[in-house]
Amino acid sequence: MLRALIFDFDGVLVDSEPLIFELTRQMAAKEGWTITEGEYFRDYLALDDRGTVEHLYASHGRAVDRARRDELVAWKARTYADAIYHGLPAMPGAVEFVRKVASRFPLAIASGSLRSEVEHLLSCIGLRECFQLLVTAEDTERSKPEPEIYLKALAGLNRLEAFRAQPLRASHCLAIEDAPAGVRAAQAAGMKCLALAHSRPAAELAHAEWVVREFAEVNLQEIEAAF
């Protein structure tokens, strides 16, 4: 039985990935490195900021300088906060889909972005009140494809009144992702996954239980029947 939905955020609900790529490119340039758009969407999608910097170091054959890593993460957070001050566009169909499912299920966010970023952008698109739980970069040590963020979302949802009498299990949850690593994280936590081909081709998301191009194509009745 489907009892809760857990959404990734960037590239799923808001059109933030092009901006995040540009800031990642600028962050790499500060160290004299280059990163192409193709590399970003192939190798960095679903990583949190700390994981992004660590991957940059590893891909250039250097041990992580933790102090410098933290400086770069802080720079990105400040720059991103300024850039999203007036909000970002919602992904097509996202607002309508979230409002539809919020009337039936508890909803959570499982995102590698910072809580302040998620809160602000959700508010800008009028969806903040739809989510009972936000699990963000501050809450985890290991970014996707590790399952930690989804396991913490499950634990957080189980603290809601709705699940006091009958605890929620991972098999009751649908994760909604746009990145291959995010799909792997959800499945490693024991959840089924709906992948939206917003950021990557559908072929790269084929390991998800369901793959669609956009929210308008989601057949929720079909998905519910599989739980």
DSSP 95-117: HHHHHHHHTTS-EEEE-SS-HHH
Residue-level pLDDT at 142: 93
**Residue 135 three-state SS:** strand
Whether residue 95 sits in one domain with residue 164: yes
Residue-level pLDDT at 175: 98
Residue 176 DSSP symbol:
E
Residue-level pLDDT at 141: 92
Whether residue 202 sits in one domain with residue 107: yes
Q: How many domains is the chain partitioned into structurally?
A: 2
In this prediction, the residues of the chain whose per-residue pLDDT falls under 50 are none
pLDDT 10s digits, 84-96: 999 999 999 999 9
Whether residue 127 sits in one domain with residue 36: no
CATH number at residue 70: 1.10.150
Amino acid letter for position 1: M
Q: From 83, 102, 126, give the residue that closes a domain.
A: 83
Q: From 30, 63, 83, give the residue that closes a domain.
A: 83
Residue position matching structure tokens 């308008």: 216
pLDDT 10s digits, 118-130: 999 999 999 999 9
Residue-level pLDDT at 6: 98
Gyration radius from the chain CA atoms = 17
pTM: 0.95
Residue position matching structure tokens 């072929």: 203
Residue-level pLDDT at 93: 98
Whether residue 105 sits in one domain with residue 69: no
Domain that holds residue 154: 4-15+88-225
Let me know: does 216 contact 93? Beta carbons within 8 Å: yes
The H or E element that residue 5 is part of is: strand 4-7
Residue-level pLDDT at 32: 93
